[in-house]
Amino acid sequence: QVQLVESGGGLVQAGGSLRLSCVASGRTSSMYGRAWFRQAPGKEREFVAARNWLGRTNYADFVKGRFTISSDNGKNTLFLQMNSLKPEDTAVYYCAGARQLTDVVSSGQYDYWGQGTQVTVSS
């Protein structure tokens, strides 16, 4: 089993920045890749960014150029650097891990989920 714990959310003004962290513990070697998803009130959970163990990254179009996904050298911590935040980025952000991935944007591909961290962007 793998446990994922997110942190770093909060309240920020539009144009500001936040850095989310996701610490993995347990059988972390079983994970092929990890990703960030988000879910706003009344909306479905949506893909934000992903990174596999080889370092390959994928981004949703609406965050390209603003968000960066990365990991520490030990690969137990996944980060999401969020710059130029907009009110529409307000959501609960979830870290997810997958043992194997054929479609990084599909939440059904992921085996492990964190509890989420709230990000609120004020206008």
Measured in degrees and rounded to the nearest 5, phi and psi for residue 9 equal: -70, 170
Q: Each residue of 11-24: pLDDT tens digit?
A: 999 999 999 999 99
* Pick from 41-45, 83-87, 99-103: least confident: 99-103
CA-nearest of 75, 77, 63 to 17 is 63
pLDDT at 108 exceeding the cut of 90: yes
Mean pLDDT score, 89-100: 96
- Using DSSP's 3-state secondary structure scheme, residue 116 falls into coil
CA-nearest of 84, 111, 85 to 100 is 111
pLDDT at 38: 98
pLDDT at 31: 87
